[in-house]
Amino acid sequence: MATVAVFVALGGASYAAVSVPEHSVGARQLQQGAVSVSALGFPLGAKGLTDDSRQTIAKLEGCNAPLPPNAPPGAEVHCPLLLTYPVAPGRTLVINMARPGELLISSLVSLQNPGPLGSSAAISAGALLDGAPVASSNVTLPGESQATVPIERLVSAAAGKHIVKVWVRGRYNAYAGGQVVDSPVTVSVAVLPTV
């Protein structure tokens, strides 16, 4: 019985494949407006970029890393860096929306920590939409290792121009050793209709 079902299924598919000639459906057979982007379920727009430049996540003594061994006792450093979202050049997308909808923001940040074994860095990466944080991910990266940090968020957005940026920052556990490098960084934004 199962064999008969397979032959019937394959026979039907074979019939459809040979009964409709290749390139036989075109503008003449389709009515004006019969197939639209929304009917196919595709996004209303999308943009993407890959930044292959190598960006070093700077190690700033006393800020995002311990002070050097020769620092005076009780030394403190004011560190505004930890309150900011550092965006490297080449990691910004501008997208225009004709009407309100949703933005699917996705990014992959590849990281390498060349520091020695026993050292580590706590790395945060995230996305900004029109200057406001909308998504972030964190990873602790040991010395002599690498990782990829995913960032993804679906956000509602009004019609108009929107700017998406990807930021990366880190905090080191050791004064000595290497600094984390991020490369490549990919960013994509898809505009979806509101359901």
Q: Which pLDDT does position 161 carry in this prediction?
A: 96
**CA–CA gap between residue 129 and residue 93 (Å, rounded):** 10
**CA–CA gap between residue 128 and residue 90 (Å, rounded):** 14
| pLDDT tens profile 122-154 | 999 999 999 999 999 999 999 999 999 999 999
Region 156-166: mean pLDDT is: 95
First to last CA, the chain: 44
Q: Using alpha carbons, select from 40, 32, 153, 42 the residue that is nearest to residue 102.
A: 153
CA distances from 101 to 43, 105, 127, 156, 190 (A): 10, 13, 18, 6, 10
Is residue 184 within 8 Å of residue 110, measured between CB atoms? yes
**CA–CA gap between residue 172 and residue 115 (Å, rounded):** 10
Torsion on CA atoms 17, 19, 25, 31, rounded to nearest 10: -120
**CA–CA gap between residue 168 and residue 57 (Å, rounded):** 8
Higher pLDDT, 68 or 168: 168
DSSP state of 176: S
Q: Give the domain ranges of the chain.
A: 42-192
| CATH dotted code for 42-192 | 2.60.120.1340
Region 1-8: mean pLDDT is: 41
CA distances from 186 to 37, 99, 112, 183 (A): 25, 26, 15, 9
Question: At residue 12, does pLDDT exceed 80?
Answer: no
Answer whether 0.75 is exceeded by the pTM: no
